[in-house]
Each structure stands twice: as C-alpha cells, then as structure tokens.
Structure 1
C-alpha cells in the first residue's frame, strides 16, 4: 500500500501544466536629443525610438529616419535640418547656422506617418567665459586589487553674473592624445602566433569622443555673482591616455531652469545605487509634446544654450598617480582614429 501511495503522489504532483505568460508590448517612445547654441554649427538633433523590456532590440538605438525637422525662432525665422546619410536619425543644421543670445527657439518635427511634435520655446542666454581650467587626480581604491582605479577630474573657474539666476551644464568635446604602442611585440595571427616584429610605428595621435560618466550641472544659489571653481568633467585613466600628452576641449553651457531640472532628474535616475532608499525609476518628461495626442509620452529635451569652451593639455609628468601602462602589441596606425601626424592646431 505504501508503494501505491507514493505512486499516487508522484502522479498528482508530477504533471505540471505549463502556464503561458503573455506580456503586453509597451509603447515605443519617441526620444529627442540635441541643442542649438550660439557656437558654430552644425548643430545636431537625434531622433530614436525606445523599445520594450525583453525585446531582441533592447539596448540598441533605433533611429527615426525620414523626418522633417526644423528650428524656428521667436522672430519667425525657420531653419531646416538635413538628415545625415551615414548616421540615420541624426539631423544637422548648416555649418553657418548659430543661435543668437536673447532669442527663443522651438524644435518642430514631422514624422513619415504624419505625426507632428513640437518643443516648448527655449531662450538662449549668455554664458560667462571659463577663466581657468585645471585638473586633479582622483584615486578610487578597488577591493582585492593592489592598484587603485584613477581618473582626471577637470575643474573650471568662472565669474558668475550677479542679480540673475544661472544654470550651467558641462560636456567634454573631442580629445586628442599621444598614443604609444609596441609594434616590436607583434605576433602573427592564429594559428601561427609566431613573433613578427614591425618596424613602424610606435607613436601616433589618437582622437576620441568620450562622454562623462556622470552629468555635470550646477545652479548659482551658493555662488551668485562670485568667482567659483567647480568639478566639470571626469576622464578615466585607461593606461593609454596619459602616457604622454593628452588634450581635451571642455564645453560650458548656460541652460534654462527647465533644462536644468530635466538634467537633474536624469542624473538622479542614472546614479541610483540599488538600495531600498532609492526613489522608484520613472519616465522623465521633457519639453517635447505631440500635437496629435497631448497625452503621448515623448522622451528627451530640446535645449537652447549659450556656449563657451576652453582647451587644456595634460602632460604625464604633471600627474602624481597613473595607471600601469597598457600594451598594444602592434603598429599604432591600426588603432581606430589614429594617425601619424598631429592635428594642425596641436600646440601643447
């Protein structure tokens, strides 16, 4: 009887009917990224679509091509943007176009399906010049490692205008550095892997465009009308960038209060630590709206900003801590965006 009882239990609990879970597809939200400044063009507006969680396209940028994109100012002037044929979804002004301080700008978009979107007006305000751009080395201990991680933190000094509220945003421009490799250590590809030293070349100039690991913004509540120094960018030391001489351009923007609030929320979401005290993640509404359906959620923010920039050269001898040298056992010319000759404006 005990044997039959075990058999009955197995029959009852061994047959599990699969439960079909159907997850409703979420909306593919239109995302806008870009700004117009009083700096030289071209200025870029990027259009893309978000995707649903679990999609095979998750994590990929899905550009929105074939749209009509214009920038309109408060005097009635209209500027049409042209789509970049090599980077679909990117729309560019002419190189001659630049915004004017005091003017307000509106972004208007019409998609191929006829849907129309517009931004709220953004006023372009003047930005103070960067008086000085310095740097310091930041070290971060790594558990279980002998060497600390490190990065270069850029620090900008500027005079904040008095008697007005100002909001700032910083981005890194293009960087160029002296790349040193080891072509004498080159080996033939598999299956041979035999040593095959190359005669050239050990030193190149590499260009790169890297974004900040965090969003750097500020408002002048605590330094209104004063000269201040603020951390404005971080450049990670990867064992290659600071072997010789490194150059980077820093861009400083004066943005609207609404743009500052948007970037602050994005920064908060990006820096969630995963603890129980974190606020719940949410879609952050920007200043873009659909004229066909005001309830449609549109992601991103169109900005108009005053722009200034400053360049800094950093020599390896000025650093009190560096990462161990990374070895590239090949001709430096094979590294992407590298060339033998320095840029025409290279002047350390």
Structure 2
C-alpha cells in the first residue's frame, strides 16, 4: 500500500519537525502580547444599495482566543444635514446592514455608532462617489497561465481612484462514487449517495487598486486581477469570477495603498517596512484610542464572466484536482492476503472516525476486502459546497 507508506513517512517527518521546533524559544515582543483590543471597522457606505458594516476587535498573536464580535451596537449613517439611515444587526454577530437606500450625492456622509457599553465612534465625513460601469472582464492564456483583466473608464474624469474585489466559483467533480459504507462496526451497502458535484469558492483578500491621475484620460485597460495556471482544476468543467468595482477618494486610496504595502510587500530587507495604518474612524468618547478601518462612501458595480473547459484550447490539459487520489488503496479483511496486511487494523480505526471511506468490494485469489481512500478523495464537500449557487447556469 504505497499511499499508506507515504502517509507514514509524512507523519514521521512531521514528528521530527515538532522535535526540532521544540529546540527553539519563541520570541514574542511586548507589543504583540498587549491586551489592548482595538476596534476594527470593516465596510463602506453603499450609496446605491445595501450597506454592510462589520464591527470586531483586533487581538494579539499570543491571544489564545479571539475577542467576541461587537454585538448590540447602535449603528447608523448620517449626512451633514442630520438625516440618518439606521443599520440593524444581522444574524451574523457583529455585522450590521441597512435597507436598500440611495444616499444624497450632494451631501457628505459618515458612519456613526455606539457600542453596548456606551462608547461612541464616528468616521470622518466623506463625499459620495459614483462608480462607473465595468467595460469588460476578459482573460488570456499567456506563458501557461490564465490571466484575468478588467477594463473601465470615466468620461467625466471624476473617478481616477479604483479598487476591485473578486469572488471565484468553480465546479468540483469527485473521481469516486462509493457503493458501500462503514457503519456499526461493519461494511454495508451505502444508505445515502454522496454528492456527485460540488462548488468551490474563494473570495480574494488581495488589494487590487489603480489610479489614472497621471494619464490624459480616466481609463483603466488590462488591469491584472487574477493569475492561475492554465491547467488548474478550477477550469476542469466550469469556472466563474465576479468582479466588483469601487471608486475611492484620494485619502481612501492612500489608505489601501499603505495596507497593501503592509500585507503584501514585506519579507525581505529591500521591501517597505510596515507602517502605522491609520484610518478615518475615531473614538469620540476617548479621542486617544486608536481605531482600525477606513469608511468611504460610493456605489458598487459588478460584472461576472464564466469560463468553460470547452473555451480553452483543445490541447490544453486540465487537472482534476484529485490526481493524488488515484489509484485507490486495497484493504483485505479475510483470506491469505489479510494476514500480510497490518495496515487493515489501522484503516479500520480510521473508518471509525470517518477519515477514511470504503469504495467497493474486492475479491482476489481467495482474499476478500474493499478499496478505500481518505474522505477528501471521495466526498467533494471537503472542498466545496453541495448546494448549487443561485447564479449558476
């Protein structure tokens, strides 16, 4: 059983790594162990739709548990004229949403909230920006990679500062469909079939920003959003990417620029050093208290594209994602081969924890058993969701 032997070798290497790692003393600077839990404000004021704001607390690396979400807060949007839009707490703790509203573009607006303990916070007043449409989301295969780009423009030259977010979805087809299952200490015909298709999903946490202030026209062309190997399993059947575009003010753009440098451009002596990240949210009750987050006000535009396997070149080989799962292992439970298979006892224990699943029966020269593989090779729900997305064709 080569797969089992490989797992054993990996376990041995992992054990050695633990032993070696135990020879070093961890270094935890005082700033990391600080008990202070700073308020974190995540979201923006949607000028033409639903606003979603998440309130939480930052915590140190040494903390054993994350602080609870900031619940039962009173949250609202207010403009300089005094008009307010109330946000209510959703079923997700610490997440507050508004109704579908349109903010007055002639008035500056801000976020204002009060915590359950009575502390009051507010962002700076900011202008309401209108985001222009996305002209195109397109893709090309270049040097064995599939690259995805976005185009946009603003004839009024009022945008200039752009930010994008992406949300990817793809189909997952498992390579096995088991006919048996382990239950009550034995093998029996499977009672409920596992899903034959799932959908993977990944929302990007990369910071995609661009500005056109140095150009004669407010035009963004071929801005790179995503690069994937052209043979990625995400293109095995059907893949989709949703691109969301926002227009920022200059201060908000500078905030995201600094955030990108702090999170993506560190790691060597020649990279920019981490900088103090200050947003536009303040504690009115305690002005010296630092608050993390920047709240802007703008509309959101979206564009989704699909890429099917048939859209790729015919000679383009695409992975299934299950290459390491083939071939299946064989576990003999009776006959001469069972005596030479000490792995069977270990695998039976794995069945009890549902980490290893049987696939089908095997009869070979007087020995009987079954084929099996880890759950991740059989149940696609370990890699995605079995519920079809509402936007999927």
Do the aligned partners of 2:47 and 2:298 also contact (CA within 8 Å) in 1? yes
How far the C-alpha of 1:336 sits from its partner, in A, is 4.7
How far the C-alpha of 1:193 sits from its partner, in A, is 9.6
Do the aligned partners of 1:74 and 1:104 also contact (CA within 8 Å) in 2? yes
Please give the secondary structure, in 2, of the residue aligned with 1:278: coil
Structure 2 CA distance for aligned equivalents of residues 282 and 191 of structure 1 = 58
- Shift in alpha-carbon separation, 1:77–1:30, aligned structure 2, 3 A: same
Q: What stretches of structure 1 of length at least 5 have no aligned partner? A: 1-20, 140-147
Structure 2 CA distance for aligned equivalents of residues 165 and 184 of structure 1 = 52
Do the aligned partners of 2:73 and 2:113 also contact (CA within 8 Å) in 1? yes
Structure 2 CA distance for aligned equivalents of residues 287 and 45 of structure 1 = 15
How far the C-alpha of 1:273 sits from its partner, in A, is 3.4
How many residue pairs match? The answer is 308
Matched, 1:159 2:162: no
Structure 2 CA distance for aligned equivalents of residues 82 and 226 of structure 1 = 37
Please give the secondary structure, in 1, of the residue aligned with 2:197: strand
Structure 1 CA distance for aligned equivalents of residues 279 and 102 of structure 2 = 23
Matched, 1:212 2:185: no
User: Alpha-carbon deviations, 1:230-277, whole Å to 9, x = none?
Assistant: 335326569542211122221111111111010000000111332122
Q: Which residue does 1:115 correspond to in 2?
A: 119
- Pick from 309, 312, 317 the counterpart of residue 316 of structure 1: 309
Matched, 1:256 2:256: no
Q: Which residue does 2:43 correspond to in 1?
A: 34
Q: Which residue does 1:90 correspond to in 2?
A: 95
How far the C-alpha of 1:307 sits from its partner, in A, is 1.8
Taking structure 2 as the reference length, the TM-score comes to 0.68
Do the aligned partners of 1:135 and 1:154 also contact (CA within 8 Å) in 2? yes
Please give the secondary structure, in 1, of the residue aligned with 2:137: strand
Do the aligned partners of 1:160 and 1:228 also contact (CA within 8 Å) in 2? no
Please give the secondary structure, in 1, of the residue aligned with 2:131: coil
How far the C-alpha of 1:296 sits from its partner, in A, is 1.3
Please give the secondary structure, in 1, of the residue aligned with 2:270: coil
Structure 1 CA distance for aligned equivalents of residues 138 and 277 of structure 2 = 34
- Pick from 321, 330, 338 the counterpart of residue 326 of structure 1: 321
Structure 2 CA distance for aligned equivalents of residues 333 and 270 of structure 1 = 31
Matched, 1:47 2:55: yes
Matched, 1:284 2:277: yes
Please give the secondary structure, in 2, of the residue aligned with 1:123: coil
Structure 1 CA distance for aligned equivalents of residues 260 and 123 of structure 2 = 21
- Shift in alpha-carbon separation, 1:161–1:52, aligned structure 2, 3 A: same
How far the C-alpha of 1:36 sits from its partner, in A, is 1.8
Q: Which residue does 1:293 correspond to in 2?
A: 286
Please give the secondary structure, in 2, of the residue aligned with 1:294: coil
How far the C-alpha of 1:132 sits from its partner, in A, is 1.4
Matched, 1:75 2:68: no
Q: Which residue does 1:136 correspond to in 2?
A: 140
Q: Which residue does 1:338 correspond to in 2?
A: 386
Taking structure 1 as the reference length, the TM-score comes to 0.76
Q: Which residue does 2:70 correspond to in 1?
A: 64
User: Alpha-carbon deviations, 1:217-239, whole Å to 9, x = none?
Assistant: 01112434254313353265695
- Shift in alpha-carbon separation, 1:226–1:29, aligned structure 2, 3 A: closer
Do the aligned partners of 1:182 and 1:202 also contact (CA within 8 Å) in 2? no
How far the C-alpha of 1:27 sits from its partner, in A, is 1.8
Please give the secondary structure, in 1, of the residue aligned with 2:247: strand
- Shift in alpha-carbon separation, 1:229–1:132, aligned structure 2, 3 A: same
Q: Which residue does 1:4 correspond to in 2?
A: none
C-alpha RMSD of matched pairs (Å): 3.4
User: Alpha-carbon deviations, 1:173-199, whole Å to 9, x = none?
Assistant: 4x4433322342576459989796899
Structure 1 CA distance for aligned equivalents of residues 192 and 235 of structure 2 = 24
Structure 2 CA distance for aligned equivalents of residues 256 and 199 of structure 1 = 54
Do the aligned partners of 1:212 and 1:233 also contact (CA within 8 Å) in 2? no
Matched, 1:169 2:177: no
Q: Which residue does 1:234 correspond to in 2?
A: 226
Higher relative contact order (CA 8 A, sep 6+): 1
Structure 2 CA distance for aligned equivalents of residues 258 and 322 of structure 1 = 45
Structure 2 CA distance for aligned equivalents of residues 211 and 334 of structure 1 = 17
Q: What stretches of structure 2 of length at least 5 have no aligned partner? A: 1-27, 323-375
